[in-house]
């Protein structure tokens, strides 16, 4: 029997735009599996797997990890049973080659990208967001020193685990990530605009307002009640 797949949402945004923040809320609200390639790479780095050893150098330099390893990792994740109910992609695709592979893989399962909401945030705000970000060790829940502090300093509100700062959030690496990745993001935005599934959302609003706009953008495309 051909494996099937449900609704597919591709959440787009620059580093620090709020993909992870929103994906955690939306995946729960919409019953979709949250698939974040950055989280998968960080788990591999932490576990010191061969994939993690390969990925670490690229991540530390703010570069994209090569397509061959990234795509293999993503396809393995899509083959897991929870993907059948539908997926919310966070951090994939990052270039048109990845977008084309995704289309092919979804097509083989009788699916497609239903909608690609793009959280748009100006570059100056991205730097401030990444510089003040803390995330938790257990679930990757994101916080910010100013805009979203945890209730107890250094402790995740959701699961009680320790908060830490990502090594790629140091100022020099943030600059490198923006310099090296924003151009590729533009090509992916154009790709989905060309496929008529792009929906631009203003990411400079409060987190709950961004969530509301994302739900409004996603619902018509997926038949979801939000
Ligand atoms: P990845 O983990 O995907 O990082 P990223 O794309 O750089 O994005 P971030 O996770 O930094 O930001 P985010 O958009 O999730 O923002 P967040 O919600 O945390 O990738 C890391 C690395 O892995 C890449 O550099 C690359 O090397 C590699 N990689 C991953 N995928 C790859 C792929 N497909 N191909 C190749 N390589 C790949 O929010 C940021 C901060 O802002 C938080 O502090 C948050 O509290 C705050 N915030 C959120 N929303 C708001 C708001 N509305 N107002 C104010 N503050 C807000
Ligand atoms: Mg993220």
Question: Tell me, which fold does domain 7-121+196-225 have in CATH?
Answer: Rossmann fold (3.40.50)
> Tens of pLDDT along 148-170?
999 999 999 999 999 999 999 99
Q: How far is the CA of 79 from the centre of ligand 1 (A)?
A: 24
Burial per residue of 56-66, b for 16 or more beta-carbon CB atoms within 10 angstroms, e otherwise: bebbeebebbe
**Cis-peptide, bond into residue 93, ω within 30° of zero:** yes
Q: Give the residue, by CA position, lying nearest to ligand 1 atom 2.
A: 38
Residue where the block lists tokens 């631009």: 200
- Going from N- to C-terminal start, the domains of the chain cover 7-121+196-225
CB-based pocket (< 6 A), ligand 1: 13, 15-21, 37-38, 41, 58-59, 62-65, 70, 91-92, 94, 98, 129-130, 133, 142-144, 147-148, 168, 177, 203, 206-207, 210
| pLDDT average, residue stretch 2-31 | 93
Q: Report whether pLDDT(3) > 90.
A: no
Q: Is residue 69 left, alpha or beta, with left meaning phi > 0 and alpha meaning psi from -120 to 50? A: alpha
| Contact of 186 with 199, CB cutoff 8 Å | no
Q: pTM for this one? A: 0.96
> Tens of pLDDT along 37-73?
999 999 999 999 999 999 999 999 999 999 999 999 9
Q: How far is the CA of 124 from the centre of ligand 2 (A)?
A: 18
Atom of ligand 1 nearest to the CA of 41: 23
Q: How far is the CA of 15 from the centre of ligand 1 (A)?
A: 4
| CA count, 13 A, side-chain hemisphere, 134 | 20
> Tens of pLDDT along 168-188?
999 999 999 999 999 999 999
Residues known to be catalytic: 19, 94, 133, 166, 177
Q: What is the DSSP string of 183-224?
A: HHHHHHHHHHHHTT-EEEEETTS-HHHHHHHHHHHHHHHHT-
| pLDDT average, residue stretch 20-30 | 96
What Å distances lie between residue 173 and 40, 49, 60, 147, 152, CA to CA?
Answer: 19, 23, 7, 22, 28
Residue 2 confidence (pLDDT): 58
| Dist. CA 164–CA 186, nearest whole Å | 30
**Ligand with minimal distance to 174 CA:** 1
**Residue 222: band (very low, low, confident or very high) from pLDDT cuts 50, 70, 90:** confident
| Dist. CA 198–CA 225, nearest whole Å | 19
Best residue among 11, 14, 18 to mutate for probing ligand 1, ranked by most atoms within 8 Å of CB: 18
Residues forming beta bridges with residue 12, ordered by sequence position: 118
Helix, strand, coil shares of the chain as percentages rounded to 5? 50, 15, 30
């Amino acid at each position: 029997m051909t494996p099937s797949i449900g609704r597919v949402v591709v959440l787009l945004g620059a580093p620090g735009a709020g993909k992870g923040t929103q994906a955690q809320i939306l995946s729960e609200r919409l019953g979709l599996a949250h698939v974040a390639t950055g989280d998968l790479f960080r788990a591999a780095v932490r576990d010191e797997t061969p994939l993690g050893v390969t990925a670490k150098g690229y991540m530390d330099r703010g570069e994209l990890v090569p397509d061959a390893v990234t795509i293999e990792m993503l396809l393995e994740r899509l083959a897991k049973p929870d993907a059948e109910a539908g997926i919310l992609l966070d951090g994939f695709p990052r270039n048109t080659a990845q977008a084309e592979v995704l289309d092919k893989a979804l097509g083989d399962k009788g699916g497609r990208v239903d909608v690609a909401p793009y959280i748009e945030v100006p570059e100056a705000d991205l730097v401030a967001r990444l510089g003040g970000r803390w995330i938790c060790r257990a679930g990757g829940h994101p916080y910010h020193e100013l805009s979203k502090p945890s209730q107890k300093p250094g402790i995740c509100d959701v699961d009680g685990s320790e908060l830490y700062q990502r090594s790629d959030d140091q100022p020099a690496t943030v600059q490198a990530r923006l310099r090296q990745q924003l151009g590729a993001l533009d090509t992916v935005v154009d790709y989905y605009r060309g496929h008529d599934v792009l929906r631009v959302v203003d990411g400079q609003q409060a987190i709950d307002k961004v969530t509301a706009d994302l739900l409004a953008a996603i619902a018509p495309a997926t038949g979801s009640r939000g």
